[in-house]
Amino acid sequence: MSFESLGLAPELLKAVAERGYTEPTPIQMEAIPVGLAGRDLIGSAQTGTGKTAAFLLPILQRLDENPRPGTRALVLVPTRELAEQVLESARAYGRHSNLDSVAVYGGVAMEPQTRALRKGVAIVVATPGRLLDHMGRRNTDFSGLEVLVLDEADRMLDMGFAPDVRKILDALPEERQTLFFSATRSGDVDRLAKRALKDHAAVEIGRRAEVAEGVEHVLVAVEKSEKRGALAKLLEDLPQGRTLVFTRTKHGAERLARQLRREGNEVTALHGGKTQAHRNKALERFKSGKISVLVATDVAARGIDVDNIVMVVNYDVPNDPEIYVHRVGRTARAGAEGVALTLMSPDEWLLMRDIEKLMGRSFPREVVPGFEPSIPPLQPEDRPKRPVRRGRSVRPRSGAARRR
């Protein structure tokens, strides 16, 4: 199937082609016709599958076919980074139209956002907290709103935005189209969808808690005190390329980035304690290749739209198994291959077993020579317990992470 067969306007097809896309992804094939028909939709698909274009292209076509002033589309997202990326995509796909757009999020001055909102910009991309601030100051007018998008709805709930989202829903016109997207589904997500949607279509691509087929999952057993040394050795030995490293805390991210720089790595940190200017600069340096390693907290687990991340490293095993899915979804995007490498200390073995249960499969246990744990790692329940093969090094399968 081609983009032409989906019923998109010529100016949108031109913009899609200019971005280098020739065939729609499964979520785009299913969701775009529903969006163009004006129906409500709940879409669920693994990360990196093109959900942004799946809702932006129908919105742009709808708004461009019947031009009028005022704010006509609202896209709610959980993080500043995702807001900027959705804004970038809206402007790229809408480059041959006259539709204007703005991103509204915290951590930056309100005045430029206020001017755009009061002007009545056509498409508003916003995080819930900052949007409520503007609504409380009467900077917004959603009386003519036609389309609402809830993007990464599960992440918004995870971050505690449920009360804010409900307030925003209550303030919007009931007669609207709502497009609801989530990487995973849960009871909370389904309850929010029920509140937001009417007579909706449902699209679910792949099974829940699934990541791209091109991801090679490797578990590295190591003592907690030896994690930094083991990671430095892995970064030295494995093929070079963009590497995204996740820690639990912003202090841990800063400390690890500092230590890795001492080891000679080009690395910076990204977390919620950074100013927006610093976060934008860190992402830009990572995208441009000026740095090869980005150490981040889960603020970056979703929405980082960076091509050719060859390896994701879980420096700390996430407490929530679904966070693992979101983290490793940053690699092996758009049919590429990549490595998801997890450093697990003995106190994290049970957490890793929960992740394997969610994923429905077991991952190989490896060690880094010179950094073997004092006791063998806990094995999956469906495999016999056996000692760690000491001295076996971590090696991605052929082609998995050998692109420079």
H runs (alpha helix) in 207-267: 227-237, 250-262
Collapsed DSSP state (helix, strand, coil) of residue 288: helix
Asked whether residue 240 falls in the same domain as residue 196, the answer is no
Asked whether residue 176 falls in the same domain as residue 101, the answer is yes
Q: What's the rounded Cα separation, in Å, for the pair 347 and 17?
A: 49
Asked whether residue 36 falls in the same domain as residue 117, the answer is yes
Q: Which residues constitute the domain of residue 15?
A: 4-205
Work out the pLDDT band at 392, boundaries 50, 70, 90: very low
Asked whether residue 191 falls in the same domain as residue 221, the answer is no
The token pair at 356 is 């394997």
SS3 content of the chain, % helix, strand, coil (to 5): 40, 15, 45
Does residue 398 fall inside a structural domain? no
pLDDT of residue 378: 67
Q: What's the rounded Cα separation, in Å, for the pair 81 and 75?
A: 14
Residue 305 belongs to domain with CATH number: 3.40.50.300
pLDDT of residue 275: 78
Domains in the chain, number: 2
Asked whether residue 102 falls in the same domain as residue 201, the answer is yes
pLDDT for 176 beyond 90? yes
pLDDT for 262 beyond 60? yes
pLDDT of residue 14: 94
Q: pLDDT for 56-99, tens place per residue? A: 999 999 999 999 999 999 999 998 888 998 999 999 999 999 89
pLDDT of residue 333: 72
Does residue 18 fall inside a structural domain? yes
Q: What's the rounded Cα separation, in Å, for the pair 36 and 216?
A: 37
Asked whether residue 138 falls in the same domain as residue 28, the answer is yes
> What is the number of other CB atoms lying within 10 angstroms of the CB of residue 335?
10
Phi, psi of 380 (to 5 degrees): -60, 150
Asked whether residue 244 falls in the same domain as residue 311, the answer is yes
pLDDT of residue 391: 36
Work out the pLDDT band at 383, boundaries 50, 70, 90: very low
Last residue within a domain, chosen from 205, 239, 271: 205
Does residue 318 fall inside a structural domain? yes
Asked whether residue 95 falls in the same domain as residue 153, the answer is yes
Q: What's the rounded Cα separation, in Å, for the pair 306 and 310?
A: 11
